[in-house]
């Protein structure tokens, strides 16, 4: 069974950057599609990016292009997402989600709360 464990909550000031991690276990890391999805307080789910199977191409939602960077460390089975130029409306719970196929989000991390406040 795939498990995704994310890093802890963060509090940042506007304009700062935040880097969140998501460590995968229970499945060959390079055989997983890994997504980042966020959920603002009281709001719905918003897809942000996908890390595809080897060689690890990355696609971003257009609204995050240039401000979000996804990287991976295959030696530790960890995917990272960095969001730069934080704004108060970036305050949200950020989830990583993984799947052996690219068509659904089969497994989810526990979520990482990011609070952006001056």
Partner 1 sequence: QSALTQPASVSGSPGQSITISCTGTSSDVGGYAYVSWYQQYPGKAPKLIMYHIDYRPSGVSTRFSGSKSGNSASLTISGLQAEDEADYYCSSYSRTVNYVFGTGTKVTVL
Chain residues in the site for partner 1 (CB under 8 A): 35, 37, 44-47, 50, 59, 61-62, 95, 97, 102-111
Q: How far apart are CA 69 and CA 10, in angstroms?
A: 17
CB 23 within 8 A of CB 78: yes
> Toward partner 1, which CB reaches closer, 77 or 109?
109
β-partners of residue 50 are 35, 59
Q: How far apart are CA 6 and CA 83, in angstroms?
A: 15
Least distance (Å) between residue 17 CB and partner 1:
24
Least distance (Å) between residue 45 CB and partner 1:
4
> Toward partner 1, which CB reaches closer, 13 or 65?
65
β-partners of residue 72 are 79
Least distance (Å) between residue 106 CB and partner 1:
5
> Toward partner 1, which CB reaches closer, 41 or 55?
41
Chain Cα centroid distance, residue 48 = 8
């Amino acid at each position: 069974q795939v498990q995704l464990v994310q890093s802890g909550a963060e509090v940042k000031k506007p304009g700062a950057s935040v880097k969140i991690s998501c460590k995968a276990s229970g499945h060959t890391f390079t055989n997983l599609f890994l997504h980042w999805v966020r959920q603002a307080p009281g709001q719905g789910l918003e897809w942000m990016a996908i890390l595809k199977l080897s060689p690890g191409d990355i696609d971003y939602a257009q609204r995050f292009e240039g401000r979000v960077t996804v990287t991976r460390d295959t030696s530790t089975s960890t995917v990272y997402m960095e969001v730069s130029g934080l704004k108060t409306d970036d305050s949200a719970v950020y989830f990583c989600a993984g799947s052996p196929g690219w068509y659904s989000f089969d497994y989810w991390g526990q979520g990482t709360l990011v609070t952006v406040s001056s």
